[in-house]
Amino acid sequence: MAKSKRRRKKRRNIKIGRLLLVMSIPVFMLYGLFSAVGWVFDLLHEPAQLPQSEQQQQSLVEAGYQNACSTEDLAKLTRFGIDVSQFQKAIDWQTLKEAQVEYAFIRVGARGYVTGEIYEDETFVANLNGAKSVGMDVGIYFFSQAVTEQEVIEEADYVLSKLQGMPLELPIVYDFELPADPEARGHNLSNEELILQAQRFLEHIEQNGYKGMLYANPQLYPIYESAGLTERWPIWYAEYETESPQYCDLDIWQYSDTGEIPGIDDHHVDLNLMRTDFQAQ
């Protein structure tokens, strides 16, 4: 009787084992199928790269900057990034990451040249979320057309309200640019007004726990420099169609406003070289 029970138990175990084996076959087949699909996808998917023309320009301006501004610090001029706004429309951030874009400055909003009204950049939220989703370092800029100290504080408060304390890897940038249109509200600002407004914006940003940065170009840099602003705050400097900028003591050089890179299909984009490690500060 005991032997008979053992035989029945053994046969039952064999049946269960065979059943489990049969049931596992589809699982292994599915696993193999998905593995094969993933392997084929990896084989066919080549990481995005900068066009050769952009690679060549980047090498030229980096070498030119090194030669024109021969300091040891410039050995750190290796970080490549962009700045974006609603003009670039929909952006493929994963493709940008694959193309070795390391950071992005994202426009949060602007004040109108003529109306003076503040408005949010249409793609601010999408760009902020997209850049952060791929692990890209992010900074923020506001395009100012303030004409009074009160307005520039209003702009800084607007930026802070949009961020709600969100941590950033890179600074918040005050971006005022002198309008060419004589009808624009900021056309006739004095140097003293330009200096005061930049100072007030950045001080207000820093009082609220963020790093500030000053955007400049060949017109504005000497104005800010005359008041010591270029030593007090990091400088993001725009100068195009040259292999080296006029000034050397820069944290970021925006060397092109006509960049073409994978991930941005509908518009040119600004290209930048950064030589400052803001997270180490």
Per-residue pLDDT tens over the stretch 45-104: 567 777 777 787 788 887 887 777 766 565 556 799 999 999 999 999 999 999 999 999
Q: How far apart are CA 193 and CA 82, in angstroms?
A: 29
Residue 14 clears pLDDT 70, i.e. is over it: no
Compute the Cα dihedral for 188, 193, 197, 198 and give only its sign.
positive
What is the per-residue pLDDT for 69? 77
Name all contacts of 200-208 with Cβ < 8 Å and 24+ positions apart.
200/149, 200/152, 200/153, 200/156, 201/144, 201/146, 201/152, 201/153, 201/155, 201/156, 201/174, 202/174, 202/233, 204/153, 204/156, 204/157, 205/156, 205/159, 205/160, 205/172, 205/174, 208/160
Averaged pLDDT, 274-279: 89
What is the per-residue pLDDT for 42? 45
The CA R_g of the chain, rounded to the nearest whole Å, is 28
Q: How far apart are CA 278 and CA 1, in angstroms?
A: 82
Provide the pLDDT confidence category of residue 37 given band limits of 50, 70 and 90: very low
Q: How far apart are CA 102 and CA 81, in angstroms?
A: 5
Residue 136 near residue 103, CB atoms below 8 Å: yes
Averaged pLDDT, 149-170: 98
What is the per-residue pLDDT for 25? 62
What is the per-residue pLDDT for 60? 80
Q: How far apart are CA 224 and CA 214, in angstroms?
A: 9
Paired strand residues for 273: 80, 253
Closest alpha carbon to 233 in 266, 255, 200: 200
Residues contacting residue 151 through CB under 8 Å, at least 6 positions apart: 111, 116
Structure tokens at 238: 């725009």
Q: Which residue has the higher pLDDT, 172 or 39?
A: 172
What average pLDDT does the chain have?
86
Per this entry, what is the length of the chain? 281
What is the per-residue pLDDT for 78? 73
Q: How far apart are CA 257 and CA 272, in angstroms?
A: 9
Provide the pLDDT confidence category of residue 266 given band limits of 50, 70 and 90: confident
